[in-house]
Amino acid sequence: YQALSRAVRWPTCFDAYAKQAAAGDQSGWTARERATCNSSQVRQDEFIFKADFAKLRDVTLRAPVPQRLMPGTHNGSISVSVQNWFTWRNKEFRLFDPEMAGNDGFNATVRYISEQIPAPATVVARLQIQF
């Protein structure tokens, strides 16, 4: 809401902006696009979504490395971890990440989406050797 009210081009409206560029006006916009992507008509209550989600935060696969592959060592393992690899979210929730939210205080009944980029997906490989 804050970005749109300042006429910032919002990622969830990129399809609407493309329609406008092709037609020269907003005649091809859906009712939702007119309500949520036109900075002169945007209202906070248009941005209330179900924020159901599930996130795969951290998965690690670890395997021992045979001692014959590492002569002179006592023990070894190799692991691969992925973080923030997958997020399922409700189709109606059209923003980046449901966890990029705050609230207006302890008694707030509604949370808001902060205009921040969510944590990136990462892959980490690790080789551990004991001598």
Extents of the domains making up the chain:
1-47, 48-131
Parts of the chain with a pLDDT under 50:
1
Q: Using an 8 Å Cβ cutoff, are 87 and 56 in contact? A: yes
Residue-wise pLDDT tens digits, 50-81: 767 888 889 999 999 998 888 888 899 999 99
Burial class for 13, CB neighbours closer than 10 Å (0-12, 13-18, 19+): buried
The whole-angstrom separation of Cα 124 and Cα 24 is 47
pLDDT at 102 (0 to 100):
61
Q: What is the pTM of this model?
A: 0.52
Q: Using an 8 Å Cβ cutoff, are 45 and 35 in contact? A: no
Q: Using an 8 Å Cβ cutoff, are 83 and 70 in contact? A: no
